Amino acid sequence: MTWLVWRQYRAQGAIAVALLAAAAAVILADGLQIASHWHTILVTCAGNSTCLQQQGPLVNGVVSDLPYISLIVPVVLGMLWGAPLVGHELETRTSEFAWTQSVTRTRWLTVKVGWLLLAAAVCLGVITTLITWWAGPGNARFASAFEPGHFDTQGIVPIGYAVFAMALGIAAGTVARRTLPAIAVVLGGFIGLRLVISDFLRQHYMAAVTKYYSVTGSFTPRGQAWVLAQGAVSRTGRVVATGWGDLYPALPASCQKLLPGTPGAKSGASLDAVFSCMRAHGWRGFVTYQPASRYWPFQGIETGIYVLLAAALVAVTFVIIRTRDA
């Protein structure tokens, strides 16, 4: 059975290895250049993050889009390997050839799905390792380690994406019995789910931390934390976002008069006076955030979600292949 898989995919496998080698060469060449540039900057900035942020792009312009490799490859694999895996065989009815050899459908599917999922995971494992290394110096520029285009191109999540995209293609091809609709499902389903998870779900993986502080002081979460909300909260619990446009109307009248440049501002008005007034009225500042230390737990949770979804899709595929008439 493994020989059949090898025969079916050896050409595609060779192309994949060649493309992977080419991508690795580009990433390595560019990454080494960045690394030397990085060491030069370190000498002058000595770990001062403000200085680092002023150093401009650490990445040279031509290949700054390299992380998109880990964004795009999973969905491409889902469309080119996942969707036809069962769909094309049903479409051309070669499944009937395979299923009337002395091999059960379950074994046929296990071997095919097993090897192809492994291949996809290895592909993305290589890519994400290279990209994570390549992006190391540049990551220092980001305020948050959880930003889309950053969090989801490095670490282990790209492997989860690839496994999920493959499983989605396999299941869709099995249900539709054709390749083309399955490709459409992978494209739409994968992008849709990625957006929903990164925009709405990711921030809730773990309960966010909210830190209250005196409005006359300040607080910045340590490291590249993910700030979800910040602003001021009144004694009665009224929450107002940062920015004077929102804050001003919510302030007590006595504090409003201390804000410079507003109609009826008192003499001696200053921002410090406003903050002192706010504190006197029981206002506090707050920051709601995911601490930087949660980067790897979040990577693990997100990978887990995609792998579990993939497992469910594969299970559905097995049930259909076993029970549905060929």
Partner 1 sequence: MSTAVETHELSKRYRRVSALTECTVTVPEGRVSALVGPNGAGKTTLLRILAGLASPTGGTACVLGGAPRQDPAFLAEIGFLAQEIPLYGRFTAEDHIRIGAHMNPRWDSALARTRLAELRIPLDQRVGTLSGGQRAQVALALTLAKRPRLLLLDEPVAALDPLARRNFLATLASGMADAEGGLTVVLSSHLITDLERVCDHIVLLTGSRVQLCGDIEALLAEHKILVGPRKDTAPIERTHRVVQTAATPRQSTLLVRLSGPVVDPAYQAEDVTLEELVLAYMGAGEASAGRHLTTVGEGS
| Chain positions contacting partner 1, by CB under 8 A | 1-4, 7-8, 92-107, 322, 325-326
User: At its nearest, how many Å lie between partner 1 and the CB of residue 109?
Assistant: 11
Give the residue with the Cβ less far from partner 1, 4 or 23. 4
Give the residue with the Cβ less far from partner 1, 11 or 46. 11
DSSP notation for 279-312: HHTT-EEEEEEE-GGGHHHHHHHHHHHHHHHHHH
Compute φ and ψ for 305, nearest 5 degrees. -60, -50
User: At its nearest, how many Å lie between partner 1 and the CB of residue 84?
Assistant: 12
User: At its nearest, how many Å lie between partner 1 and the CB of residue 106?
Assistant: 7
Give the residue with the Cβ less far from partner 1, 32 or 326. 326
User: At its nearest, how many Å lie between partner 1 and the CB of residue 114?
Assistant: 16
User: At its nearest, how many Å lie between partner 1 and the CB of residue 94?
Assistant: 5
Give the residue with the Cβ less far from partner 1, 96 or 246. 96
- The residues pairing with 214 across neighbouring beta strands, listed in sequence order, are 284
DSSP notation for 212-256: EEETTS----SSS-EEEEEEEE-TT--EEESSHHHHHHHS-HHHH
Give the residue with the Cβ less far from partner 1, 3 or 200. 3
Q: Does residue 22 sit in helix, strand or coil? A: helix
User: At its nearest, how many Å lie between partner 1 and the CB of residue 5?
Assistant: 10
Q: What is the distance between the alpha carbons of residues 76 and 73, in angstroms, rounded to a whole number? A: 5
User: At its nearest, how many Å lie between partner 1 and the CB of residue 182?
Assistant: 19
Give the residue with the Cβ less far from partner 1, 4 or 208. 4
Give the residue with the Cβ less far from partner 1, 98 or 229. 98
Within the chain, where are the H helices?
2-45, 49-53, 68-77, 83-92, 94-99, 105-139, 157-176, 179-196, 244-250, 253-256, 271-280, 295-323
CA angle at 22 for the pair 21 and 23, rounded to the nearest 5°? 90
Q: At what angle do helices 68-77 and 157-176 cross, to 10 degrees?
A: 20
Q: Which amino acid does the sequence have at 213?
A: Y
